[in-house]
Amino acid sequence: MKKPIAWIMDTTGYVTEQFKSHPDVYIVPLNIHFGSEEFIDDGIDLSNDELYARMKSSKDFPKTSQPSAGKFAELYEKLKEEYECAIAVHASAKLSGTIASSMTGAEMTDFKVYTVDSLALSYGLSGLLDRGLKLQDQGLSAEEITQRLEQETTDFRNFILIGNLSQLYKGGRMSGAQYYIGSVLKIKPIVQLTEKGELEPIDKVRSHKKALAYLLDRAKADHEQYGIDYFQIMHGHIPEQAEELKTELLKFAPDAEVLIGNLSSSLAVHAGEGTLAFMWRRPPAHV
């Protein structure tokens, strides 16, 4: 007898220990390229420490590529023998071609895969998958779960403090003039993933202290209005700053649960070392 649902995610999401050990969760990694060298974003082929060291020393600017449709097809061909269907939760289609590869792979194998555009990255993606597993435990069907997850993408709140302007400049996401002015004035841009899954700048601050205050003010507002008590802090090789943010958060939300984790390598390539992302979900409007 086949199992009901296989769960698929890619490594732009935060891969928790729970997902790694879950028998029905399958993780498809992106690829990281330094010139002609290619690494798999699995935390083994290239550790976080090794990634940041390479980013500082390499003459080649690192790039990422989504898994091929053939890679997904290979996985789905295997899963169709064990599962009735799958639910695949992927990075925002506005930022990655992974979801397109996943859908093409499913078509190649004639395996029923419900595909969810998380409209997010990191824990925005992972949180949806975790939510889906809970809905499955409640007895909802794959189709019902997919519909619910699609509705709940707009509940995600996120504020991303870019730590390394040079990484954005090298990647062509910032002009030379912007980089020069930002560096001289020590400007720290804050960006956000919108409800459309697009990455947009929302503000600029001039100091680390002001940046933390900006993030905390928004968390406090949602904590007081919605009773938010679970937050995620993802960081680019700056655990001390992540812990500092957690400490300040617990001053006004002492009972909150706070998850701290590393940005995945495939995100760190673009965001750069020193990036701090603060995330949470408002209560779902659809229950």
Whether the predicted pLDDT of 165 surpasses 80: no
Instruction: Give SS3 for 124.
Output: helix
Contacts of 147 (CB under 8 A, 6+ apart): none
pLDDT at residue 285 in the model: 63
| Range list of β-strands (E), the chain | 3-10, 25-28, 31-34, 37-40, 63-65, 83-90, 113-117, 156-161, 188-193, 199-205, 230-235, 257-262, 276-281
CA distances (Å), origin 212, targets 197, 220, 276? 24, 12, 10
Q: Is the pLDDT of residue 177 over 60?
A: no
Residue 44 is classified by DSSP as S
Residues with Cβ within 8 Å of residue 269, at least 6 apart in sequence: 32, 51, 55, 62, 63, 64
Residue 166: CA count within 13 A, CB half-sphere: 7
Same domain, 269 and 191: yes
Q: For 67-121, what is each residue's pLDDT tens digit?
A: 999 999 999 999 999 999 999 999 999 989 999 999 999 999 999 999 999 999 9
Does residue 148 share a domain with residue 12? Answer: yes
| More confident call, 44 vs 39 | 39
Q: Indicate whether 146 and 172 sit together in one domain.
A: no
Q: Tell me the per-residue pLDDT of 231-275, one tens digit each, with 9 for 90 and over.
A: 999 999 999 999 999 999 999 999 999 999 999 888 888 777 889
Instruction: Provide the token pair at 271.
Output: 């965001």
Task: Reply yes or no on whether the pLDDT at 43 is more than 90.
Answer: no
Confidence of residue 159 (pLDDT cuts 50, 70, 90): very high
Classify 168 as helix, strand or coil: helix
Q: How many CA atoms lie within 13 A of 91 on its CB side?
A: 26
CATH number at residue 275: 3.30.1180.10
Q: How many structural domains are present in the chain?
A: 2
State whether 276 and 179 are in the same domain. yes
Q: The domain spanning residue 10 has which CATH number?
A: 3.40.50.10170
Find out whether 238 and 276 touch, Cβ atoms under 8 Å.
Answer: yes
Q: Which region among 81-85, 143-147, 190-194, 254-258 has the lowest average model confidence (pLDDT)?
A: 190-194
Helix, strand, or coil here: 19? helix
| Same domain, residue pair 121 and 202 | no
Query: CB–CB of 233/245 below 8 Å?
Result: yes
Distance CA 146, CA 202 (A): 30
Structure confidence by residue, pLDDT tens digits, 9-34: 999 999 999 999 999 999 999 999 99
Query: Is the domain of 143 the same as that of 59?
Result: yes
Residue-level pLDDT at 187: 67
Place of tokens 């435990």: 137
Angular region, 231: left φ>0, alpha ψ -120 to 50, beta rest: beta
Indicate if the pLDDT at residue 184 is higher than 50: no
Say whether both 58 and 182 belong to one domain: no
125 found inside a domain: yes
Q: What SS3 class is residue 60?
A: coil
Q: What is the pLDDT of residue 208?
A: 83
The 3-state DSSP class for residue 261 equals strand
Considering the domain architecture, whether residues 146 and 165 belong to the same structural domain is answered as no
pLDDT of 149 > 90? The answer is yes
Tell me: do 162 and 145 sit in the same domain: no
| Closest CA relative to residue 159, chosen from 202, 208, 207 | 202
Domain membership flag for residue 286: no
With respect to residue 15, please indicate whether it lies within any of the assigned structural domains. Answer: yes
Whether 54 and 77 share a structural domain: yes
Residue where a domain terminates, one of 152, 182, 206: 152
Write down which residue in 122, 152, 182 finishes a domain.
Answer: 152
The residue range of the domain holding 222 is 156-281
Torsion, CA 234, CA 150, CA 136, CA 264, rounded to 10: -20
The 3-10 sheet, strands edge to edge: 25-28, 3-10, 83-90, 113-117
